[in-house]
Amino acid sequence: MRSPDLLRFNLRLLTGQWFRTLMTLLATAVGVAAVLLLTGMGEGARRFVLEEFNLLGNDVLIVLPGRKETTGGIPPLTGEGTRDLTLADAEAVLKLPGVRAVAPLVVGLTQAEAAGRNREQMVVGTSLEFFRIRQLGAAQGRLLPELPLDRAEAVCVIGSDVRRALFDQQPVLGRWLRTGDRRCRIIGVLEDRGVSFGTDMKDTVIIPVASAQQLFNTQGLFRLFVQVRHLDLIDSLKPEILDLIQARHQGERDITLISQDSLLGVFDDVLQLLTLAVGAIAAISLVVAGILIMNITLISVSQRTPEIGLLKALGASERQVHRLFLSEALMMTLIGAALGVVIGYTLLWTGHWLWPQFPVSVPLWALAGAVLLALAVALMFAWLPARKAARLPPVLALKGITDA
Amino acid sequence: MIRLEQLCKRYQLGDEPVQALDHVDLNIAAGEYLSVMGPSGSGKSTLLNMLGLLDTPDSGRYWLNDVEMTALGEEARAAERNRRIGFVFQAYHLIDRLSARENIELPLVLSGTPPAERRPRVDELLQRLSLDRHADHLPNQLSGGQRQRVAIARAVIRKPALLLADEPTGNLDSHSGQDVIELLEELNSEGITLVMVTHDAHMGRRARRRLWMQDGLLLKDEQDAQP
């Protein structure tokens, strides 16, 4: 039998029983769409997190005060140090060979006031290196001046949200801003960059680290970013930094070191696994669709028993009959899978349109996997009924008797 | 053309074994017109199915055109059925969702004949059986006689050497039955070998050679003198 004839023959069959066909198509389509949707969402979540964290280069180590066991889990974002991590510690780390730069971080909330307006404001104390490490630039004016770490200066750089909230469209460079009981002069506005580590840089006021220490009356650092000279040095520098701080903290190893790699690695693994898991759960619906296809094919075989007998009488061999029923199931699945892909992508893009910040992408393995799985399931489940049809003795089949 | 040698077939019908064919020997020459008669359960349909390669004997041998059919595999027997044998059934066995034309060309489709080659052959046959007006009708839009003519067209579209008819007029009124039998005889007069199973003695007498069967045995083999 020629392929176009086979196709036409099957198509006649499928359109002839359109309700049955539609239901089977729907089952397959829902299965494929579910796989696409769930893996698409999982992959979207993974990308979302990765993009968030990727702003930090992977040559950067983060030092947290306080010791936490980080055996596979997500490291703490709030330190619970017994001993403070100080600016002196930061200076000491900077002197280690292989360290290019350090950026200490002091963070706190305070009341900010300017131009008669008032708001609760996150204030970040840091140094110029912080901007380099985080790859932040100034949209207007300049960034913090290069200062010794322990020198306070009454200047600040503000994020775009702060600017909008306090000044609207007025020019801001050179104006005064009051944070808590201190004043600082605005020397720059930060360019718009995304959220990262849960901190929206658009909504912060950035001042020199020593100024922040005075403002919040603290010696302890919230974080210390350490940038190494070369990626390969990260692993060898980790113990060196730990040893150094331990020596400075009276033998107490009370800091936690995390690198973006380990952090991202954990997130990546977890989310990839999650995507795989939800994909697998969705795949179950495909298997259910397969069972439906098996039933439909079985019904088709018993309904068409006389026809099978006739086809055999007209010279169809067992192989031809087998192929006829298999191709019918495959065709149905292929159409169903195509429908499912369309539905899946439509839903994903609708979701993306509703929440544009959420990246949407179906991994290729999920797309190919879903379609291939649907076909494999159809082939598997239609195989037995098709063989049953092929093996029907023609004499009995012509009389409509299925079982010899 | 056909030679059967000690052909045996036994069925299990409930608890009772039925000897459908009991050491049957038979020779049929090309172009013969043969009727097989007998009471139901006499084995005449089994004989027809054996000749049509739809059934396999328990023992004995069958040659068609000097090729031993009993030695062939399933695939080869299917090909022989397609090429050399046409079937006409009492219940027509047309496929409901296909038009008359599509039903007729089914054997050509199965053998992989390209559409361009199929069309003129089907057209010619439709014309000859005066079915051309009904080419695109579905079987349920046709009368019984028309359906059986479509079935006959399907049986002879591959120009087989052997035409097997199992009660071809059983479902028809006498007028259409007459039409159908005349059509079969006309095909026979053009050289096709016609074997017809019937329990209608009147129909059976039309054949030049008449077999009577009972309990799987050939009781009587009558032949008219050659005209």
- A352-373, pLDDT tens digit by residue? 888 887 777 888 888 898 899 8
- Over residues A327-339, the mean pLDDT reads 92
Chains A & B: contacts with CB separation below 8 Å: 70
Residue A80 has a pLDDT of 47
Option in B98, B110, B115 nearest A315 (CB): B110
Q: Average per-residue pLDDT in chain B? A: 91
- Over residues B76-92, the mean pLDDT reads 92
Asked if B89 has any chain A CB less than 8 Å from its own CB, the reply is yes
Residues of chain B with Cβ-Cβ distance to A387 below 8 Å are none
Option in A1, A312, A394 nearest B112 (CB): A1
CA of B19 vs chain A CAs: smallest distance (Å): 17
A82 falls in which pLDDT band (50, 70, 90)? low
Q: What distance in Å separates the CA atoms of residue B165 and residue B44, rounded to the nearest whole number? A: 11
How does strand B162-166 pair with strand B85-88? parallel
Question: Residue B217 burial by CB count (10 A; 0-12/13-18/19+): exposed, middle or buried?
Answer: middle
Residue A161 has a pLDDT of 85
Residue B134 has a pLDDT of 93
Residue A402 has a pLDDT of 66
For A397, the closest chain B residue by CA position comes to B54
Residue A258 pLDDT > 90, yes or no? no
Q: What percent of chain B has pLDDT over 70?
A: 99
Pick A401 or B80 by higher pLDDT. Answer: B80
Q: Which of A197, A246, A199, A152 is nearest to A60 (CA)?
A: A197
Q: Which two tokens stand for residue B135?
A: 């080419």
Residue A404 has a pLDDT of 42
Q: What distance in Å separates the CA atoms of residue A226 and residue A100, rounded to the nearest whole number? A: 8
Helix (H, G, I), strand (E, B) or coil at A22: helix
How does strand B193-197 pair with strand B209-214? unpaired
Q: What percent of chain A has pLDDT over 90?
A: 15
B114 falls in which pLDDT band (50, 70, 90)? very high
Of A357-361, A389-393, B27-31, B119-123, the least confident: A357-361
Residue A199 has a pLDDT of 60
CA of A326 vs chain B CAs: smallest distance (Å): 16
Asked if B154 has any chain A CB less than 8 Å from its own CB, the reply is yes
B110–A1 CB contact, under 8 Å: yes
CA of A400 vs chain B CAs: smallest distance (Å): 11
B25 falls in which pLDDT band (50, 70, 90)? very high
Condensed to tens digits (0 to 9), the pLDDT of residues A107-132 reads 888 988 887 888 888 899 999 888 88
Residue A72 pLDDT > 80, yes or no? no
Residues of chain B with Cβ-Cβ distance to A303 below 8 Å are none
- Over residues A6-29, the mean pLDDT reads 88
If you count DSSP H runs as helices and E runs as strands, how many of each does chain B have, helices first? 8, 10
DSSP string, B21-58: EEEEEEEE-TT-EEEEE-STTSSHHHHHHHHTTSS--S
Residue A81 has a pLDDT of 44
A320–B52 CB contact, under 8 Å: no
Residue A79 has a pLDDT of 47
For A306, the closest chain B residue by CA position comes to B93
Q: What percent of chain A has pLDDT over 70?
A: 92
B188 close to B17: Cβ distance less than 8 angstroms: no
Option in B55, B79, B98 nearest A395 (CB): B55
Option in A306, A314, A398 nearest B110 (CB): A314
Q: What distance in Å separates the CA atoms of residue A205 and residue A111, rounded to the nearest whole number? A: 11
Residue A198 pLDDT > 60, yes or no? no
Residue B193 has a pLDDT of 95
Residues 171-210 of B with CB under 8 A from A: none
Quote the strand ranges of A38-181, DSSP E: 60-65, 99-114, 117-126, 138-141, 155-158, 176-179
Residue A75 has a pLDDT of 53
A312–B78 CB contact, under 8 Å: yes
B109–A313 CB contact, under 8 Å: no
Residues of chain B with Cβ-Cβ distance to A2 below 8 Å are 109, 112, 114
Is pTM beyond 0.90? Reply is: no
CA of B227 vs chain A CAs: smallest distance (Å): 34
- Over residues A217-241, the mean pLDDT reads 85
A300 falls in which pLDDT band (50, 70, 90)? confident
Pick B135 or A72 by higher pLDDT. Answer: B135
For A400, the closest chain B residue by CA position comes to B93
Option in A13, A316, A398 nearest B78 (CB): A316
Residue A43 pLDDT > 60, yes or no? yes
Asked if B52 has any chain A CB less than 8 Å from its own CB, the reply is yes
B79–A317 CB contact, under 8 Å: yes
Q: Average per-residue pLDDT in chain A? A: 84
For A316, the closest chain B residue by CA position comes to B78
